[in-house]
């Protein structure tokens, strides 16, 4: 039985599922399905908190979601931050630190021998260096889990991951809310 760690790029996962499948996912069911009969040792969920005053509606929705996440066994929420930017008179927010935290955890957890196999749920090719380090330096299996259409698949992750797993409608039907 393999020790399984799951690393979820929260906003990437949320928007990919919303765009491709237009539904909400039961994160616990999703992770248990990925782990199958193996020993699920950890789930790390990376997200940046929405500011309460800039978007009260989205803040309230995110708080409800976080309360649900906190009930999931072995799940840890790792927070980044949202930084306000202005361009051409428009205000928008940029997520910061979540990717760095996720990349560090994949590598440091591999070094600490906390897992045999990791699932990375993100379509962000920036994680390819961390995936490669976990594989090459620490002999870990890292499975890139792609949610979305073929255009969303990260070429860089696909090339360095031990395996690429595409989430299809059948998989989603079993784990949606």
Using DSSP's 3-state secondary structure scheme, residue 175 falls into: helix
Spell out the CATH class of 3-175: alpha beta
Query: Which of 174, 175, 168, 177 has its CA nearest to residue 20?
Result: 168
Q: Where are the domains of the chain?
A: 3-175
- How far apart are the C-alpha atoms of 131 and 140, rounded to whole Å? 9
The model's pTM:
0.94
- How far apart are the C-alpha atoms of 66 and 60, rounded to whole Å? 10
Ordered per-residue pLDDT tens for the chain, 177 residues? 999 999 999 988 988 898 889 999 999 999 999 999 999 999 999 999 988 887 889 899 999 999 999 999 999 999 999 888 888 988 888 889 999 999 999 999 999 999 999 999 998 899 999 999 999 999 999 999 998 766 667 889 999 999 999 999 999 999 998
- How far apart are the C-alpha atoms of 147 and 4, rounded to whole Å? 19
Torsion of CA 144, 149, 150, 154, to 10 degrees: -40
């Amino acid at each position: 039985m393999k020790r399984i760690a799951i690393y979820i790029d929260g906003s990437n996962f949320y928007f990919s599922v919303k765009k491709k499948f237009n539904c909400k996912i039961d994160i616990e069911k999703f992770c248990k399905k990925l782990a199958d009969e193996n020993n699920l040792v950890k789930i790390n969920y990376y997200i940046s908190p929405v500011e309460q005053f800039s978007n009260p509606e989205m803040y309230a929705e995110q708080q409800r979601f976080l309360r649900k996440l906190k009930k999931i066994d072995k799940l840890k929420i790792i927070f980044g931050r949202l930084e306000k930017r202005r361009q051409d008179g428009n205000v928008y927010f940029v997520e910061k630190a979540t990717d760095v935290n996720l990349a560090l955890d994949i590598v440091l957890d591999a070094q600490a021998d906390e897992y045999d196999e990791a699932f990375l749920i993100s379509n962000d090719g920036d994680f390819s260096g961390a995936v490669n380090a976990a594989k090459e330096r620490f002999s870990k299996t890292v499975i890139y889990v792609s949610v979305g259409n073929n255009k969303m698949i990260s070429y860089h992750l696909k090339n360095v991951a031990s395996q690429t797993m595409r989430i299809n409608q059948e998989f989603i039907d079993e784990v949606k809310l």
